[in-house]
Chains A and B, each alone.
Chain A
Amino acid sequence: MAAAETSAARRDTVPRLLAFNAKHYADKPAYREKEFGIWQSWSWAEAASEINKLAAGLLTIGLQPGDHVALLGRNRPYFYWAMIAAQTNGAVPVPVYQDSVADEIAYVLAHCSARYIFAEDQEQVDKILEIQDNLPELRGVIFLDEGGMRKYDRSRLYNYLDVQAAGENATQKQKADLAKREEAQTGADTCAMLYTSGTTGQPKGVVLSNDNIIKTAEASSDFDKLSVNDSVLAYLPMAWVGDFIFSMGQAMWTGFCVCCPESTETMQHDLREIGPSYFFAPPRYFEGVLTNVMIRMEDAGKFKQSLFHYFMDHARKIGGEILDGHTVSTSDRLKYGLGRFLVYGPLLNTLGLTKVRVGYTAGEAIGPEIFSFYRSLGINLKQLYGQTEASVFITQQPDGQVRSDTVGVPSPGVEIKISDSGEVFYRSPGTFVEYYKNPKSTKETKDKQGWVATGDAGFMEKDTGHLRIIDRAKDVGKMKDGRLFAPKYVENKLKFYPTILEAVVFGAGRDMCTAFINIDLQAVGNWAERNNIAYSSYQELAGNPDVYKMVQNHINEINRDVAADEMLSGCQIHRFLILHKELDADDGELTRTRKVRRRVIQDKFKDLIGALYGGKSEIFTKTQVTYEDGTQGSISATLRIEDAVVISVQETAA
């Protein structure tokens, strides 16, 4: 027992953190999961006992130190336990995106030569059985839910509960072996391997050590003063590094409670019941929730509507100020208090965000309107910038310095430098060890001094020390006169308007920037309905002069915004047109994840780009389209080209 205590005091591996928590927070809730309609919970002592049984069970069925253990399933306490049980054995957990199809997981499972796989249910087991011929190293599959598998060949299939029972009945020698395995580990050993989704080429296995994860967790927990009394809802994919840091790293370090929803569809409902104090969601989640709120308010009665808008206007004015601790007049504060009682409080309760003390969003740019909506309600929503290779944290926003257009200051322990080409490099305790079985990529990404290339272009703001990300480094170019050209920066700003679905900006090597616009059929359609504008198709609506005028106003606003930024003032849009068709993945213009394919679009609409730069005011064009059933057709249209108001840099200086 004495040995266990000293090792727990070291706190340099996850199993040691578990021992620490089981000792110090024995009765505090560690995991919750809703099952059969009721929240089940496990204290740290109970969780440690479950995990130790499972770890011994894994040893009895043949798991060896250094083996890879893959996990396929949604967030459930059992999977978090499985990861720790594997780590106790000195094996490496590899969570995999569970909604991937068999072909996609086949690559990952073969690449890491998974020895054992935890699978949630029949659906996941079937995927593994389909590809097992390509997995010569595979020894066994451990499932949680037996449904539908009664007739399956059991020679390599194990029920989770049976493995645990085997662990309970392990011999003294096996228990001693397990203790030895646990004792042998150090902070430098691998904690987990996470595959990056890889926008180009095959996914890469990022090897993260115990030190990477635990030091990052420690620093980031201190940054936001996370404690054992916090709780988090684990609903984002387990294979994603964010979930690993929040639900494993920080939870193990601080001892806060990890809550798992009942199913993917019930997340919103479960969020409301749990009311976490620490919450992460991607921008599109916040956007979706806000849209929902607004739609439902439109259906509300007159009185409720006016009440909502009156107090929301007030919140927008001073909510953020109060949150940042600025001085606000007493009458405004009183009015905000009344608003909290009548509007903000009930709204937050419905959204399940009442108790959120620290909220983060990351991954893409978030619209300033959306961002300030949540902040004005009193939610401490902040942005961070990170990637798998950094164990998430590169920069984050400290309380009181939150803005929608930066990603914050370097996280504790992180150094940042900007290369001459504008690319962001970082070095930190969380910096990954290597890409698994890929020394070439490791070398390309991480240099000898430990600096890692992010692939993003950005700059540090001189007066605030905040990092601003402009674009992917490979997309950033120069205009003809040498000014910086960052298309995505401008496109994102355009896309924040609900009426603009997609925008493509051109200008590399040219003397001015131009843009293709896709309107959002639903948003603009609603607007047209309210204004009695009849239309029969996307094409007709897109060509409507009023729609053009609306988009033109948006672009003028954006230009004013962009001009204010000295570095990016060249990216103002001089001329634009609204495309006659929606950009579509079926036509190869977008990727399946709806990212713009610049090269394809440039080729396909060469005539339109020519017209934008050729000074024409309209152009006739004919475009090939692919319908959903795969048949080809073509549409033709005459498109108008409009000019936007451009502000010269001298003007803003004056």
Chain B
Amino acid sequence: MSKQKAPSERQNSYVTADGRTIGPAVMEMKNITLRFGGVIAIQGISFDIHEGEIRAIIGPNGAGKSSMLNVINGFYHPQEGKIIYKGEVRRPLKPFEIAHQGIARTFQNIALFKGMTTLDNIMTGRLTHMNTGMLSQALWWGKAQREETENRAFAERIIDFLEIQSIRKVPVGRLPYGLQKRVELGRALAAEPSLLLLDEPMAGMNVEEKEDMSRFILDVNEEFGTTIALIEHDMSVVMDLADRVVVMDYGKKIGDGTPDEVRKNQAVIDAYLGVSHD
């Protein structure tokens, strides 16, 4: 691998190929190592995520991508290394602090409340934006009433944005897979995240559903200015969507840069296609 300064280490804002201005780094990972007992899931990885960009993490199965996502949102705390989020070094977080830091995510295996409706699932995403006490919420009185109305209005804007009006009152367990993924995205958006993490948003989708989802991801980025980090297996999707790509293999970073740079990177080609040993 070349030792020259990769674009990933650019500290300041830059302009993408399609003319969008990307802000400075919102999150920096420095020499992250994550171990589970004797297993090293992530080994000395550094990269950053800039404000307003779409950042992809790719790699073969077991490369440590999902672990990386869990490190980013604070669910795992790495044994070594430093995470700088919004200019401050992040300490290990308690679960409620994780929820309040402005990072929302979707899961590889859909993690919705199956028995609840689409609307209710999306409303749970608004939880961190509700401040009234349990009693006034139960009585639906005063400030609680106003607050719920505001949050419902926000949820409805997301339903409109994702074009899921027709399933508003349908329990999500009854929905097809592609729509469940969309609802999950809706719930993550409801939290108004500054950083959105998507764990394989297109897994198991057909071509049409993938196109829809790609459009929504681009629209979220454009409309709300949300920074997005995503893991994805479908290379053509990643190369079209992402501004910059991190490539992982066996817990190590083997490539980082724009889709074009990554595509030409020999280490990446070897990891994906295998190397002949003759």
Contacts and interface: CB of A to CB of B under 8 A. Distances in A.
A148 B215 contact: yes
Interface stretch (A260-268, A375-383, A522-530): A260-268
A37 B165 contact: yes
A262 B165 contact: yes
Contact of B156 (A37, A147, A151, A265): A37
10 contacts: A35-B160, A36-B156, A37-B159, A148-B215, A148-B218, A148-B222, A150-B222, A151-B18, A265-B165, A266-B165
Contacts of A148: 215, 218-219, 222-223
A40 to B, nearest CB: 12
What 10 pairs across the A-B complex have the smallest Cβ distances?
Answer: A265-B166, A36-B156, A266-B166, A262-B165, A37-B156, A263-B165, A148-B219, A266-B165, A150-B222, A36-B160
A151 B160 contact: no
Interface string A266-279: 10010000000000
A155 to B, nearest CB: 17
Contacts of B222: 148, 150-151
Given A36-B153, A151-B19, A263 B219 contact: no
Contacts of B119: 37
B82 interface: no
Contact of B223 (A35, A147, A262, A263): A147
Tell me whether chain B's interface is mostly helix, strand or loop, or mixed.
helix
B206 to A, nearest CB: 15
Contacts of A36: 153, 156-157, 159-160
A266 to B, nearest CB: 5
Q: Which of B18, B157, B166 has the most CB of A within 10 A?
A: B166
B76 interface: no
Interface in A17-43: 35-38
B263 interface: no
A147 B165 contact: no
Contact of B168 (A35, A37, A151): A37
Contact of B166 (A147, A150, A263): A263
B163 interface: yes
A38 to B, nearest CB: 8
A147 B19 contact: no
B224 to A, nearest CB: 11
B163 A263 contact: yes
Interface size range of chain A in the complex = 10 to 19
Interface string A250-265: 0000000000001101
B161 interface: yes
Nearest to B223: A147
A263 B162 CA distance: 12
Q: What bracket does the count of chain B residues touching chain A fall in? A: 10 to 19
Given A151-B19, A266-B165, 7 more contacts: A147-B161, A147-B219, A148-B223, A150-B222, A262-B166, A266-B166, A269-B166
Interface of A: 35-38, 147-148, 150-151, 262-263, 265-266, 269
B18 to A, nearest CB: 8
Nearest to A149: B222
Contacts of B168: 37
A265 B19 CA distance: 36
A38 B165 CA distance: 11
Interface in B196-236: 215, 218-219, 222-223
Nearest to B215: A148
B156 A150 contact: no
A13 B62 CA distance: 71
A266 B218 CA distance: 26
Nearest to A264: B166
Contacts of B215: 148
Contacts of B219: 147-148
Contacts of A147: 161, 219, 223
A480 B123 CA distance: 72
Nearest to A262: B165
Contacts of B165: 37, 262-263, 265-266
Nearest to A37: B156
Contacts of A265: 165-166
Contacts of B218: 148
A38 B19 CA distance: 38
Interface string B145-189: 000000011001101110101101000000000000000000000
B166 to A, nearest CB: 4
Contacts of B163: 263
A147 B168 CA distance: 20
Contacts of B161: 147
Interface in B6-44: 18-19
Interface in B42-98: none
A265 B163 CA distance: 10
Contacts of B223: 147-148, 150
Contacts of B160: 35-36
B119 to A, nearest CB: 8
Contacts of A269: 166
A147 B160 CA distance: 11
Nearest to B169: A269
A554 B219 CA distance: 55
Interface centre among A36, A148, A266 (most CB of B within 10 A): A36
Contacts of A38: 156
